[in-house]
Structure 1
Amino acid sequence: MATSRLTTLLDNGTPRLPDTGRILLLGPQADTDLSALPRDRCHVVQTFRPDHDALAARGFDCATAPDGPYAAAVVFLPRARELGQSWIAQACTLTDGPVVVDGQKTDGIESMLKHLRPRVALDGQISKAHGKAFWFGSTDALADWAGPETLGIDGGWHTAPGVFSADGVDPASQLLAGSLPRKLGPAVADLGAGWGYLSARMLERDDIQTLHLVEADHTALDCARLNVTDDRARFHWADVPGWEFPERLDAVVMNPPFHTGRKADPALGRAFIAAAARMLKPTGQLWLVANRHLPYETELGERFAQVTEAAGDNRFKVLQAQRPTRARR
């Protein structure tokens, strides 16, 4: 395995991390190389359930929010610029020691460095493996980067920097919400519920007794709790393919993700379809929206007795699948 930027940087002794005290790690992913760090002193903050669980399995102390103060901080730059700025500002408030920022070019590390240079005195940087890592001493010069914890968008919805469709209602979800039947049944799930738009629209129906919102992003789920205040809602911080569903469902509704980072990965959608088939009653139905080019019909045909396109346009398609053929646990 090639040596990571962070390992190269710390093995060279610059910056020198304090010998005592906890080290904040903001946003590392499941496969991030953290071997150069003292595991027993690291406090990992990761809100995405699969990465959180994988890092915990590696022996790291994991949480969904920081609990400072810390002796030093390492920020692993996310794709969303506003979220990255917020994390860097937060790291500065939680430590008096060095702040390290590590990221890929495709995630905007060059742009972030450009914005930081006029505002802080950088102590050093390293370029390696299509990215950079740089560091500086904690400062209050970035306080204006902290930003609000939640954003307000048209319609009165609460979202947050970095969550899916943070700037407005996703048009695919809007199409799906308008295509759903008047009745869905007593027990329903919204898989990959995000900040709760689809769930809020579904709960306009009186026949629903329980609606399970299943979402892997803890931040998005916190937003969903603000957007969906109906007592019939149940919130689950879980990765959909491994979710232990508490009851058989009459309907599943979903706008599944199809990217891992910046890379398109239709296998994610197929995993959601397989999970839906397992949790539905024999008479249950799945309602799914997807980009028109995504080839989900084959997987649906293998998992359900009947598949039809219920609605669509030149960008999206709404697929209805009925009578799961592989619905056993």
Structure 2
Amino acid sequence: MSMRLALAAGEGGLALPETGPLVVFHPRAGTDLMVLPRDRCLLVQPFRPDYETFATAGWTVDWHLPAGQRCAAALVFVPRAKRQAQALIAQAAACCDGLVVVDGAKTDGTDSLWREVRKRVPVLGSLSKAHGRIFWFMADAEAFADWVAPEAQAIEGFVTAPGVFSADGIDPASRLLVESLPPHLGAHVADLGAGWGYLSTHLLQDDRLKSLEVVEADRIALSCAEQNIHDPRARFHWADATRFKPDQPLDAVVMNPPFHTERSADPGLGQAFITAAARILSPRGQLWLVANRHLPYETVLARAFVEHREVAGDNRFKILQAARPVRSRG
């Protein structure tokens, strides 16, 4: 990650308060936080792998801002989704009694946010460096009242939230997967990378299903899934899907795995999901997944399963089914 925060606090004129708590919203693993006093910081990070990285390093971390939390300064690391970035800035401005600092890559729209913020409040300082920008201003909750995220937003009857995958509509790839699944996959099934629960909701329509593991690394998305699913057979796990360990081997895994690291395509993510599925399935278990057509998943499927095939698809997506994992124990 860039050194913009350190540069701003050094020669850029950013003066963070010497007393009082600091709240840091959505820092990513690898973000340089060395200029911050660790004993006064609360990191808000809902993504489980990053949460664990910071917690292991000794930071105080929570997946959401506790009710009533106030701070002397707040820092926002800009996420990819503009609506989520605006909501975080509004949240920071509402909980803060001093400076709000915003830092992010230009490819994540930070320059656009900077221009929009300048129309609302005086920006006290700004530094453009390392393909990104950091800027700061005094907190003013009223100035960003229209950026506050709604308590819930609904699409086609489902609750979603800004920044989660497919927040504004059902993902067409997931819809295609639902249309391609057989009516019964087994008694014990997992939805890896479940998001806000669209695939899980469909799987729970099977009366013969006994348990469904709903696994999602984004705690905000998982909270949406908990609101969308009211079935005692569903068990919710805030966990990295690539490291998830169920209580027993599973009959089936269903997934629409992610394939991006920030803005860069990373097929290794989906490949890691496939390897994880093979590890947690029973010897005769099966995997069903949807993927963008160009993603090279067939090679890892051939290594991890005795058999695999494409069962459906179109010019954008492919539905892949694999059975009999080569390694069915972790």
| Common topology (TM > 0.5) | yes
Paired residue for 2:153, among 151, 154, 177? 151
Match of 1:45 in 2: 44
| Separation in 1, partners of 2:297, 2:282 | 21
Matches within 5 A, 1:128-207: 128-139=129-140, 140-153=142-155, 155-207=156-208
CA contact (8 A) 1:15 1:98 kept: no
Cross-structure match for 2:23: 24
Shift of 1:12: 3.0
Are the aligned partners of 2:188 and 2:210 in contact in 1 as well (CA < 8 Å)? Answer: yes
Deviation at 1:59, TM superposition (A): 1.3
Quote the residue 2:90 is aligned against.
89
The question of 1:304 aligning with 2:316 is answered no
Q: Distance in 1 between matches of 2:39 and 2:28?
A: 18
The correspondence of residues 144-293 of structure 1 with structure 2, limited to 5 A, is 144-153=146-155, 155-293=156-294
Opposite residue 147 of structure 1, the aligned amino acid is A
TM-aligned CA deviation for residue 3 of structure 1: 6.7
Amino acid at match of 2:40: R
Gaps of 5+ in 2: none
Within 2, Cα distance between the matches of 1:176 and 1:191? 14
What is the letter of the counterpart of residue 61 of structure 2? C
Q: When the two structures are superposed, what TM-score results if normalisation uses the length of structure 2?
A: 0.97
* CA-CA distance at 1:108 after TM superposition: 0.2
The answer on 1:99 being equivalent to 2:104 is no
Q: Indicate the SS of the match to 1:167.
A: coil
Moved over 6 A (4+): none
Give the TM-score normalised by the residue count of structure 1. Answer: 0.97
Q: Show the counterpart of 2:11.
A: 12
Residue 231 (structure 1) shift: 1.1
CA distance in 1, matches of 2:322, 2:218: 26
Alignment partner, residue 33 of structure 1: 32
CA distance in 1, matches of 2:284, 2:164: 34
1:65-80 equivalence runs, <5 A: 65-67=64-66, 68-80=69-81
Aligned 8 A contact 1:101 1:134 in 2: yes
User: Retained in 1: the 8 A contact 2:2–2:130?
Assistant: no
> How much does 1:150 deviate?
2.3
- Structure 1: distance between partners of 2:54 and 2:146: 31
Q: What is the CA–CA distance in structure 2 between the aligned matches of 1:8 and 1:51, rounded to whole Å? A: 23
For residue 71 of structure 2, give the secondary structure of its aligned residue in structure 1: coil
Give 1:13 shift. Answer: 6.9
Give the residue type in structure 1 aligned to 2:272: A
Return the offset for 1:15. Answer: 2.5
> Which amino acid counterpart does residue 59 of structure 2 have in structure 1?
F
1:11, distance to aligned residue in structure 2 (A): 1.9
Alignment size in residue pairs:
327
Tell me how far apart the structure 1 counterparts of residues 144 and 109 of structure 2 sit (CA, whole Å).
Answer: 18
Deviations along 1:56-83, one digit per CA (max 9) or x if unpaired, are 1121100011131111100001111111
2:128 aligns with 127
- Quote how far apart the aligned CAs of 1:177 are: 0.6
Instruction: Give the fraction of aligned pairs with identical amino acids, expressed as a percent.
Output: 56
Deviations 1:3-56 (A, max 9, x none): 700001112373322111110000000100001111111100000001111111
Letter in 2 for 1:163: V
State the Cα deviation string for residues 70-116 of structure 1 (Å, max 9, x = none). 11100001111111111111111111111000010000001101111
Q: Once the two structures are superposed, what CA deviation does each residue of 1:194-222 show, in whole Å capped at 9, x if it has no partner?
A: 00000001111111100000000000000
Q: Check conservation: 2:278, 2:305, Cα contact below 8 A.
A: yes
